[in-house]
Amino acid sequence: MLRASLISLVALGVVAQEPAKAPVPVPVSSPTAVAAPAPVAAPKPEEVVLARVGGETVTEADFQSAFHLLGQQEQMQVLMVQGGKDEFVKRMAESKLLSVKAKRLDLDKAPSYQRALERAKDDLLAREYLTREGEAIQKKLAVDAAAVKAFYDKHPERFKQPDLVSVRHILVSVKQGEGQQGLSDVDAKARIAKIQAEIKKGAKFEALAKKYSDDPGSKENGGLYADADPSGWVPEFGAAARTQPVGKVGAPVKTQFGYHLLKVESRKPARQIPFEEAKGPAEKMAQQDRQAIVWNELMDGLRKEIPFELVKPAPAPPIPAPAKTPEAGKGDAK
């Protein structure tokens, strides 16, 4: 949890507040000038009550504390959506309502709650530490253009595009068992033959796919799978997609799903994606790589300062088999 939250934690902002308007100055030379009243100190967040529940309160300080634990997208929703803060405070008050009821049932004394409370304290303290170190960590996380290019050069295998095929197909599914959808093998072959006859008469493959295909993933798109890696398909289908002549409808292909008619639209050979084209993904990968490095460096430094050990519990001893008792009469002397 902590590693995944590293970036959002160090980037947390504070609750946006409207700055106080400066008082309009009164000219001191004016004969009618009136002494400006002394400014009233704004109440502290912990003094601003937002809700009262069973004798307990939800304050502005409580809201800010909970707000800081949100992800950046959730924070923006609270701040930007009209009524967002009110709705969030309402949820906090409802949570307080449940909490008050739980206390009245002494659930706060349950061992399971106490264990969860200690776990939550650890997580919150860890967040506090990461927030405290946030500026230093943020500097280490920076990835510039040179670092992105260096990552691309170091990991060329991550930027290889495999053979890609665009193919249209029509699936006539075969029933796999009792109660399953699909046709019998004989009926499926008959339907495939009917579709082939319509293709010979000049019917459009795309229209026939929309009419007959049992593949929900491509049916409404005229049976098309565009620029797909054939290695991700079942072997029989992938082999046909790699070898069948482009632009022609091939012989029916049997797979575990049923019978397919394929029409290969195009093929693109495998290639190394040039840096300019791969810059966006390379930057994202470089940032993820840098995050892992910074996290590991942070953990290594702390482990040198603080004793740290992962302990694997010893396996439980095997339960001995019950001793066998001799059956009555066996072993008696004759």
* CATH number of the domain to which 254 belongs: 3.10.50.40
| Residue 22 counted as domain residue | no
What is the separation of C-alpha 292 from the centre of its chain, rounded to a whole number of angstroms?
17
Burial class of residue 303 (count of CB atoms within 10 Å of its CB; 0-12, 13-18, 19+): exposed
Q: Does 259 share its domain with 289?
A: no
Burial class of residue 310 (count of CB atoms within 10 Å of its CB; 0-12, 13-18, 19+): exposed
Q: Does 192 share its domain with 235?
A: yes
Tokens of 203: 């019917």
Which of the two residues, 266 and 11, has the higher pLDDT score?
Answer: 266
Residue 317 is predicted with a pLDDT of 84
Q: Does 52 share its domain with 199?
A: no
Tokens of 28: 């001191």
Average of per-residue pLDDT across 76-103: 93
| Residue (of 82, 83, 80) closest to 72 by Cα position | 80
Residue 115 is predicted with a pLDDT of 95
- Amino acid (1-letter code) at residue 190: A
Q: Does 112 share its domain with 150?
A: no
Mean pLDDT over the full length of the chain: 87
Q: Does 93 share its domain with 173?
A: no
Average of per-residue pLDDT across 156-177: 95
Residue 10 is predicted with a pLDDT of 41
List, for residues 280-306, the tens digit of each pLDDT value.
Answer: 999 999 999 999 999 999 999 999 999
End-to-end CA gap in the chain: 74
Q: Does 214 share its domain with 199?
A: yes
- Amino acid (1-letter code) at residue 245: P
List, for residues 62-81, the tens digit of each pLDDT value.
Answer: 999 899 888 888 999 899 99
Single residue among 246, 269, 292 that ends a domain in this structure: 269
Q: Does this model's pTM top 0.75?
A: no
Res. 134: pLDDT tops 90: yes
Percent of the chain with pLDDT over 70: 85
**pLDDT range class, residue 30, cuts 50, 70, 90:** very low
For residue 265, the SS3 value is strand
Average of per-residue pLDDT across 208-220: 96
Which of the two residues, 37 and 116, has the higher pLDDT score?
Answer: 116
Residue 330 is predicted with a pLDDT of 54
Q: Does 180 share its domain with 230?
A: yes
Burial class of residue 210 (count of CB atoms within 10 Å of its CB; 0-12, 13-18, 19+): middle
Domain count, the chain: 3
Q: Does 65 share its domain with 202?
A: no
**Residue 281 lies in domain:** 145-157+273-305
**pLDDT range class, residue 320, cuts 50, 70, 90:** confident
| Residue (of 210, 187, 216) closest to 198 by Cα position | 210
**pLDDT range class, residue 265, cuts 50, 70, 90:** very high
The dihedral through the CA atoms of 23, 26, 28, 34 has a sign that is negative
Looking at 36-50, 117-131, 184-198, 249-263, which range is the least confident one? 36-50
Q: Does 260 share its domain with 168?
A: yes
